[in-house]
Amino acid sequence: MSLKDQTALRIVFYEGDGAQSLEAQDRFAAMSRLLEKGFAVTRVAGGGRVAPADRASLLVLGRFDGGRAPQAEDAHGQVHIRFQDISGFDSNRVAATVETVRAETNAAKHGDWKPWFPVIDYDRCTNCMQCLSFCLFGVYGVDEQQRIQVQNNDNCKTNCPACSRVCPEAAIMFPKYKAGPINGDVVSDADLQREKMKVDISALLGGDVYALLRERSEKAKSRFSKERDANKALTERQKCLVKLASAGDIPPEVLMSLPSPEEIARRAEEAMAKAQAALTKQTL
Amino acid sequence: MTPPRILYCNCTYAQVVPKEVKEAVLKRLCESGVAFDAVADLCEMSARQDASLKRLAEGGAVKIAACYPRAVKWLFHAAKAALPTEAAEILNMRVQSADEVCAALFNPELKPNLPAGKTTKPSAEELPKSEVAV
């Protein structure tokens, strides 16, 4: 199931009328456990506001008077509410109880996928389509207005920030990346110069990185068809991949998982065609 | 005047926010008497286009303890939930200390800091001498 199709379970710690307050350390322990398990948690207390309710399922936890959880329902029938008394529960038991309710309500199970995907800064993006023509994994696409967008973020290769390296405006972020500006830090002039250098990697490597792979593959084919030395072909490909890995900060496991040079060529042409089509429609 | 809401992001699925900072911030929130929302990971919610992001963005003035303001702004945008530019203050647990983040969170005054438009950080030469780190 796509990540976008799943519903979430919102956990509410209720400490108002009809319930006792939790000790601060118990509250912290329970909240930490639930957050580590991927849940969204709201603490309702006298001081301050929280975000309004939406149509998600709510699980209200509290140390209710008499150990009895109240019963209530949304008058509009839009929000599914459950109450659970947690008197005497430690953080493990709270987490286990919440997990049971999550499973019963078919809400999203979190943590199955590291959220690694490009985030576009549209203040900077010039819609040049370099990212679309670069990515071999179909992460990018365009909307009805031919505006670049991230369409298939779960196709993105974990820890690979290569597309952000080819963006001439440093408009592509990976918020979980180690360094700026890719992590979302403010872009500096120096960064832009560096990003330009990264784009020049394409020129340096002969048009674009995938073209380089194709070219090397062709050269290797003709040479190795004479020499019939598969090891040399592998060495040649590895040399090329090492150069790419260091130039684009692409994890070796991503490079080593790339398909055959022929498949790379096919995908690169497909991506290039998509980008070209979008650019053409923009000018019409 | 109603104080801004507080939203805390635990950045659960990566080790980019120092553990001691995020733990200290959450601990102090739990020790305080304030109501707040906490999410496991804004990135994951954005990837899932979680409808809750809309709820979190649209509830009025908000202070968010998370990471870089530019990243937070566009993470919400990616989930079709625009944060209000004039009513959102982002505290960056990747670079600020727990003390700095908590002081800002518990301060009723809101200091909006979402980037508006294309901004580029000035180079060291362009900064006044007092702002250049030695």
- Containing A149, the helix (H) or strand (E) segment is strand A148-150
Domain-located, residue A267: yes
Q: Closest Cα to residue A184, out of B67, B119, B93, B63?
A: B67
Interface test with A, best of B31, B44, B64, B83 (most A CBs within 10 A): B44
Question: ipTM score here?
Answer: 0.90
Q: Please return the burial class of A198, using the count of CB atoms within 10 Å of its CB with bins 0-12, 13-18 and 19+.
A: buried
| Distance (Å) from the alpha carbon of B56 to chain A's nearest alpha carbon | 5
Could you tell me if residue A187 is inside a domain? yes
Q: Please, is A244 exposed, middle or buried when counting C-beta atoms within 10 Å of its C-beta (0-12, 13-18, 19+)?
A: buried
Identify the closest residue of chain A to B50 by CA–CA distance: A4
The SS3 of residue A174 is: coil
Whether A168 and A246 map to the same domain: the answer is yes
Element (H, E) at B53: helix B52-57
Last residue of a domain, one of A104, A135, A158: A104
Q: A218-254 pLDDT, tens per residue?
A: 665 554 444 445 555 455 555 656 666 666 677 777 7
**B-contacting residues of A 171-230, CB under 8 Å?**
173, 175-178, 180, 183-190, 192
The number of helices, as runs of H, and strands, as runs of E, in chain B is 5, 5
- Mean pLDDT, chain B, whole residue set: 91
SS3 B81: coil
DSSP string, A37-82: TT-EEEEE-SBS--PPP-SSEEEEEEEEGGG-------TTS-S-EE
| CA gap B76, B43 in Å, rounded | 9
Task: Quote the crossing angle between the two packed helices A24-36 and B19-31, to the nearest 10°.
Answer: 130
Where a domain ends, among A76, A104, A132? A104
Tokens (6 digits) for A148: 């670049």
- In order, the DSSP letters of A152-168 are -GGGSPTT--HHHHH-T
pLDDT at A271 over 90: no
Q: What domains, with CATH codes, occur in chain B?
A: 5-131 (3.40.1400)
Residues A217 and A249 in one domain: yes
Q: Is B54 on the interface with A (CB under 8 A)?
A: yes
Residue A153 is assigned to a structural domain of this protein: yes
Whether residue A110 and residue B56 make contact (CB cut-off 8 A), yes or no, is: no
Q: Give yes or no for A120 touching B (CB within 8 A).
A: yes
A150 with A279, same domain: the answer is yes
One domain, residues A83 and A201: no
**Is the CB of B101 inside 8 Å of chain A's CB atoms?**
no
Q: Which residue has the higher pLDDT, A244 or B4?
A: B4
Beta-carbon contacts of A214 under 8 Å, excluding residues fewer than 6 positions away, are A261, A264, A265, A268
The pLDDT of residue A149 is above 60: yes
Q: What are the tens digits of pLDDT across the range B42-56?
A: 999 999 888 889 989
How many structural domains is chain A composed of? 2
Any domain includes A196: yes
> How high does pLDDT run on average in chain A?
80
As a residue count, chain B comes to: 134
* Residue A110 in domain: no
* Nearest residue to A278 via CA among A162, A168, A133: A133
Q: Answer yes or no: is pLDDT of B109 > 70.
A: yes
Close Cβ partners of A159 (under 8 Å, ≥ 6 residues apart): A116, A251, A254
Indicate if A98 and A151 belong to the same structural domain.
Answer: no
* Cβ–Cβ below 8 Å for B26 and A28: yes
CB contact under 8 A, A49 and B59: yes
Binary contact (A184, B70; C-beta < 8 A): yes
Where in the sequence is the domain holding A141, given as residue range(s)?
119-283
**Contact call for B118 and A124, based on CB within 8 A:** yes
The answer to whether residue A113 sits within a structural domain is: no
Does residue A260 have a pLDDT over 80?
A: no
| A38 at B interface, C-beta within 8 A | yes
Please tell me the predicted confidence (pLDDT) of residue B52: 87
Cα–Cα distance, A176 to A159 (Å, whole number): 9
Distance from CA of B119 to the nearest CA of A (A): 7
- Give residue B134's pLDDT: 39
Inter-chain residue contact B33 with A46, CB threshold 8 Å: yes
Residues A211 and A72 in one domain: no
Task: Mark out the alpha helices in chain A (DSSP H runs).
Answer: 24-36, 91-104, 130-134, 162-166, 189-204, 209-227, 230-248, 252-256, 261-283
- CB-based contact A130:A199 (threshold 8 Å): yes
Q: Are residues A134 and A232 in the same domain?
A: yes
Same structural domain, A192 and A263:
yes
- A139 with A231, same domain: the answer is yes
How far B74 CA sits from the closest chain A CA (Å)? 6
Q: What proportions of chain B, in percent to the nearest 5, are helix, strand and coil?
A: 35, 15, 45
B106 touches chain A (CB under 8 A): no
Q: What pLDDT score does A225 carry? A: 47
Residues A89, A189 within the same domain: no
Q: Is residue A114 part of a domain?
A: no
Q: Are B48 and A108 in contact (CB under 8 A)?
A: yes
Contact residues for A90 (Cβ-Cβ < 8 A; gap 6+): A26, A29
Q: Are A100 and A182 found together in one domain?
A: no
Closest CB to B123: pick one of A47, A180, A190. Answer: A190
Q: Within a domain: residue A75?
A: yes
pLDDT at A85 over 80: yes
Give the pLDDT band (50/70/90) at residue A206. very low
Indicate if A132 and A63 belong to the same structural domain: no
